[in-house]
Every structure is written in structure tokens, then in C-alpha cells.
Amino acid sequence: MKSLQINILGICLVCLAGCDNKPYEETSATSNTHYGTVSEDPKSMDPSFAYDSLSLSILGSVYDTLLQYSYLKRPYQVEPSLAAKMPEPILATEGDNLPGPYGFRITLKKGLRFQDDPCFESTGGKGRAVTTDDFIYSLKRLADPAVNSPVRSIFIEKIAGLAKFDEENQKLFRKLKEEGKEPAADYSMDVSGVRKIDDLVFEVYLTEAYPQFLFWLAMPFTTPLPREAVEYYASEKYPGRVDFKDHPVGTGAYVLKEYRKGQRMVLTRNPNFREDFYPSEGEPGDKETGLLDDAGKQMPFIDEFVISMVKESIPGWYMFRQGYLDGSGVPNESFDRVITAEGTLSKSMASKGIRLFKARRLVTYYYAFNMDDPLVGKNKKLRQALGCAINTVEYIDLYLNKLATVAQSPLPPGLFGYDPEYKNQYRVYDLDKARRLLEEAGYKNGIDPGTGEPLSLTFDTSDTSASGRQVTRWLTSQIEKVGIKLNVVVNDWNTHQQKADVGNFQFIRYGWLADYPDPENFLFLLTSDNKRPGVNYANFHNAEYDALFNQMKGMLSHGEEGIKRLAIIKDMLKILEEECPWVPSHHAENFSLVHDWNKNVKLHDPGHNLRKYQRIDAAARAAKRVVWNKPRYEWVAVAIGLLFALTLPGFFYVRSRR
């Protein structure tokens, strides 16, 4: 009997303990801290290398850039950030003897400093002043053969003299390897197209007219890099020291204070951050929604961002509903209860002060074939057949709550060159057509004539979530309808990216979110210049497509030149349709939820430095957390009652036996 009483007491204590599920310390509600989640660790926080949206979202907070996108204005436009003013164009005329025909003079703001860090040994860990040398070092590093930047070929092609820098360092690498030494680039070599005028002014000359270069100045690739940090955190030289890709040192609004892989990251306010003020202008409606309430105030507003790693969507969703996360997406499992048929927020969610943000994103999701693969890469009819076998309308209905558009090409809606009337003949779901194309490909009914068995293809994915597994099963069933067996390989994100970089796949799913709002930024994904390890993961090569791209890339999108540019884009899309290096999947819409205490939120596709604009009303958050997370002691009473009810017959039985 005593044992029974102890068991009841233990269960009651467990129930009482279960009434408190706070994931953070008690003071978190009232602190000036933003709480969020990501599903994976960033692949790399080396700004010369990182090119995935997750990594860039962290980099944008730590590394500031010469230019940035206006936070509130639409359409998107670039404006000065580290630069004191917009870069001044330089047009060479005959006899100027300049390194290139087209260039920019760039002037830095005064007083810029790097964050404090142990790498600055000469100053006792205090961040030093930023100079033009740091930008020149950053540009040279993009051509360093050891860095293997994914945009290496773009900058080598565009910046005058950078190809020569690359060529000489390639020779140096070969020489050092022959001598049995560790290859290292020689940064003392001059780049003719990058000229230092003084510590605050430098010039960059291009090999041709390329107005999109300004967009690259708004990306972390061209951020100022302190050479001290790159060398101090070189793990090969200093075993046991954090690698530079995991320890960013920049000039941005925040510093990476803590990084525990697989668990969490903490970004804290950078005390060395420059003067930066919240915008005073936006688009119509911004004032009415409170987006101009902080106009002219010094940024950033939030002291700290705590970013937890949560792989599955449901745990994060419950944390958001309890007020422990300040923003969230909408899980598929809960979509119908959260979003009405009209696409508005449900009354129950709105009554809690939750706000819904919707935006059509400049993003394209696609399936890429490895064009070097001896099976799918050499058989165009097979690729076309697979395009006709995938029912993307069904996918959007089942997994995206009908909130996406079937992609016909790489270009998303809202971008110059996108035509809503254009239909790709191999993106129409048609199983009969898919079977005819398969027969023309040499695989009647999906059978491999060499083995007499169903043709087997390998599909790589990085989505390890429960919903991701459902999608993979759906895709497998789609391909099986034409008789082909799909072998699925599930990778973590870093392995997935590595496979894409080296071409270790047959069929893979990917997505591209615009770096900048120009069709060149999507169509360059399939040019020969960007073949692996660049972003042309399919390793597609077509001389006609490349020639058209080179005509189109530097053209304007308005006036007579815009008409010519549009005609060229149409010809390029026809080549992609016929050759089918991709099966374009869909263009997504973005649904985001935030609590009403999370201020200054506006969805923004190309920007990465968005955290500095946000503000938290911590007092409002604390008040709602108390209301939403009151201990439910009535369940303890119910549990105790049930336990007594269950044990009472046993008690009387034992007593009668005695």
C-alpha cells in the first residue's frame, strides 16, 4: 500500500512538472530578444563561398555590403549602405587608356569599423577601421583557386584583370604542388581593373557594360573582408581553432556570439556598427500599417536574435502559438485551420493578435538532370518524358495548399520576360505523351531493354521532414506510373549541396530565390560559364543558348532595347524547353505569420540584412505568454481521480484477502 501511494505521488509530480514547458529562461519574455528557428545549420558563413538562402540570411546580419535594397520601397531598388553614395559610372572614351570600357568609382562612408574579434591581435581584439584594401582583398579572394567560390567565373569574366590574376595563381598553385608545398594564392599580384585611389575611394573596371554589377555590390560576395580573420581562423594552419566558415567577422548590425551546431545560433548587437537609420519613405499603405512609426530612428532595434535548430515544422508551430517564437510559417498540417478558403487569416488566429503576410516570391523550384550522366544526360527524350509524367498541379493541391504557380521556365512571375501565356510542351501532365516519349527514348513501358527490368533512376533530396518524406513518396508514385523505378537518396543539407557542387547525382530537386530582380539572375543558372562548381548544377552546355545570353545580359528592360531583350529571352526559353536540362516545378507564394509584438515586418525577397529593421514589444509579449501558458492544474486533479478510481478495486481486493 505504501508503494502504491508513492507511485501515485510520483505520477502527480510528473503531471505538475508537465504544466511548465518553457523552452527559455523566465526573463526571456521581457528581454529585447527575438526568437526564431531554422531547420538546418548554415552550409557556410564564408561570404566568398556561401550562396544558399539560409547561409545568406545569417551573413546579411553579420556582413554589411556596399549597397542594399530599400526595405520598404517597391519595386526593389538599390541604395547606399557602406558606400557614401551610389557608385559613379565611368565610361571610357578612346585614348583614356583605362583598364576596361565600363566602370564605377566607389566612395566609402567615414568611420566604418569591423566588429571586435581576437583575430585583430595588433589592437588587442578591437575591431579596426575598414579601408578600400579590404574590398580589394575580397574581390581578389573570389578568384582564389583554393576558395572555389560559386560565383568565381562571373567575377573573373566581368572584372578587368581578374582573369589574369586567376591565371597567374593557377600557375603558382601547380608550381607549389610540384615542390611539395601547400598551394596559396599571391594576393600581392595587381588586378588592373581594381584601382585604389585612397583609403576611402576605389574604382572597379569591367570588361563590358554590365549594369547588373550594382546588384552584386548588394550581396555578401563583395563585402569587406579582414584578411586577419581569414588567416586567423584557417583551421588547416591552426588545428582546434574554429574555421572561418563558422566564425564570420564583419561590419554588420550583429555579431555571431554563439554557434552550437545542430542546436542554436545567437546574434548579438554589434557595438561597432555604423550610424544607420530606419527609412522615412515607403510605398502606399506602409504608413497606415505602422511601417513608418520608427522613421529616422537609429538601428538596429533588437539586442539579440536566438535562432534554434528545429527540423520538424510541428514543434516550432506549437512554440509559436505559445508565444515562444516571434514568427512562423504555416505548416501544411494546420493550413486549413489557420488560413480560410479566401486566403485570409482565421478568426481564432486573428483574435490572438497574429498577423498574416502574403507575397508572391521571386523563386523557381525545379528538378535538375545531371547532363554528364550517361543515362539521363544523354537521352533528351527520357528527360522530356519525365517532364510530362510529373503532375505539378496535383503537387500544389496536395502539399502547397494550391498556393503556387506551375513553372514553365526558370523565370518567375513579376520578372521581366515572364509570360503568363507561355506553355512549355513538356510541362503539361500527359501520361500518354510521357509513354510515347519513353518509347522513343528506347524504354517502352519504362523497361530497360538491357536488363528486361524497369528502368531505375536515382533521385537525391535534402528534405528529411515528415512532409518531405510524403512528397518523395508522391514523386516516386508519379514516376512509377510510366514504369520507371525511382531510388530515393535522402541527404542532410550540407551533403546535398556537396553532391550538387561536384555532380554526384542523377536527378535532384533545387530552388533558386532571386539574388536581384533581373531575368539575367535566373537565366545564368544554365550558362556554360556557371557549370560546376558554379550554380549550373545540371552542367548544361549549349553554344546557342550561351550566345543569346551574352547578348541579353547587359541590355536594358525598357524602350527599344527592352523589346529586343524580350525577343532574345523567348528564344532562350525555347532552347531550354527542347533540351530539357530541368523540369521546372513551381513558383511559390510566401505565407508568414508574426505576433503583433513583432514590429516593422515586411516580406522582402532579395534583401539579406533584414534583422536590423525589426523591433520587439517585449512587454506585450510577456503579457500574452502568461495568458497563453497558464498551468492546467485541472488535468492533475483528473489524473489523481483516475488513479484512485483504478486502484480502489485493488485496495478492497487486498483488504478482503487479508
Task: Using alpha carbons, select from 248, 252, 246 the residue that is nearest to residue 229.
Answer: 248
Of 21-25, 52-56, 390-394, highest mean pLDDT: 390-394
- Residue bearing cell 539579440: 304
Q: What angle do CA 616, 605, 214 make, to 5 degrees?
A: 115
pLDDT in tens, 236-246: 788 889 999 99
Instruction: Check pLDDT > 70 for residue 484.
Output: yes
Q: What is the pLDDT of residues 70-104, one digit of tens each?
A: 999 988 889 999 999 999 999 877 667 889 899 99
* pLDDT value of residue 401: 80
Work out the pLDDT band at 8, boundaries 50, 70, 90.
very low
Burial state string for 513-542 with b = 16 or more CB within 10 A and e = fewer than 16: bbbbbbbbbbbbbbbbebbbbbbbbbbbbb
Using CA atoms, how far apart are residues 14 and 27, in angstroms rounded to an integer? 24
Per-residue pLDDT at 1: 44
Span 296-308, pLDDT tens digits: 999 999 999 999 9
Per-chain mean pLDDT for the chain:
90
Mean pLDDT of 94-117: 91
Residue 114 pLDDT grade (very low, low, confident, very high; cuts 50, 70, 90): very high
Q: CATH number for the 27-309 domain, one of 3.40.50.9100, 3.40.190.10, 3.10.20.30, 3.90.400.10?
A: 3.40.190.10
pLDDT-derived band at 386 (thresholds 50, 70, 90) equals: very high
Contact yes or no for 116/126 (Cβ under 8 A): yes
Span 435-472, pLDDT tens digits: 999 999 999 999 999 999 999 999 999 887 777 889 99
Position 4 scores a pLDDT of: 42
Classified as helix, coil or strand, 616 is: strand
pLDDT of residue 10: 46
Please answer whether residues 102 and 190 qualify as being in contact, where contact means their C-beta atoms are separated by less than 8 angstroms: no
Residue 282 has pLDDT above 80, yes or no: yes
Report how far residue 348's alpha carbon sits from residue 498's, in angstroms, rounded to the nearest whole number. 44
Give the CA distances from residue 255 to residues 33, 116, 516, in Å, rounded to whole numbers and listed in that order. Answer: 14, 9, 25
How far is Cα 80 from Cα 70, in angstroms, rounded to an integer? 9
pLDDT at 152 over 70: yes
Residue 403 pLDDT level (bands cut at 50, 70, 90) = confident
Mean pLDDT of 383-397: 95
Identify whether the C-beta of residue 520 lies closer than 8 Å to the C-beta of residue 533.
no
Asked if the model's pLDDT at residue 633 lies above 70, the reply is no
Question: Measured between alpha carbons, how far apart are the two ends of the chain, in Å?
Answer: 13
Residue 498 pLDDT exceeds 70: yes
What is the rounded distance in angstroms from the CA atom of residue 503 to the CA atom of residue 517? 28
pLDDT at 6: 42
> Among 266-280, 356-370, 639-653, which is the least confidently predicted range?
639-653
pLDDT of residue 5: 46
Residues in the chain: 658
Dist. CA 72–CA 55, nearest whole Å: 23
pLDDT for position 41:
92
Q: For residue 198, which phi and psi values (nearest 5 degrees)?
A: -160, -165
pTM over 0.75: yes
Element (H, E) at 215: helix 213-216
**Which pLDDT value is given to residue 21?**
59
- How far is the C-alpha of 616 from the C-alpha of 597, rounded, in Å? 6
Query: According to the model, what pLDDT value does residue 548 have?
Result: 97
Q: pLDDT tens-digit profile of 166-203?
A: 999 999 999 999 999 989 999 999 999 999 999 999 99
Q: Residue 53's pLDDT is what?
A: 86
User: Which class for 420: exposed (0-12), middle (13-18), buried (19 or more C-beta within 10 A)?
Assistant: exposed
Sequence-ordered strand ranges (E) for 201-317: 201-206, 254-260, 264-269, 304-309
Q: Can you give the residue ranges of every domain in the chain?
A: 27-309, 363-590
486 has a pLDDT exceeding 90: yes
pLDDT at 45: 95
Contact 446, 484 (CB under 8 A): yes
Q: What is the pLDDT of residues 573-600, one digit of tens each?
A: 999 999 999 999 999 888 899 999 999 9
- Could you give the 3-state DSSP secondary structure of residue 317? helix
Assign domain 363-590 to its CATH superfamily: Dipeptide-binding Protein; Domain 3 (3.10.105.10)
Average pLDDT over residues 13-21: 47
Helix (H) or strand (E) holding 33: strand 33-38
| pLDDT (0 to 100) of residue 642 | 64
Mean pLDDT of 112-126: 97
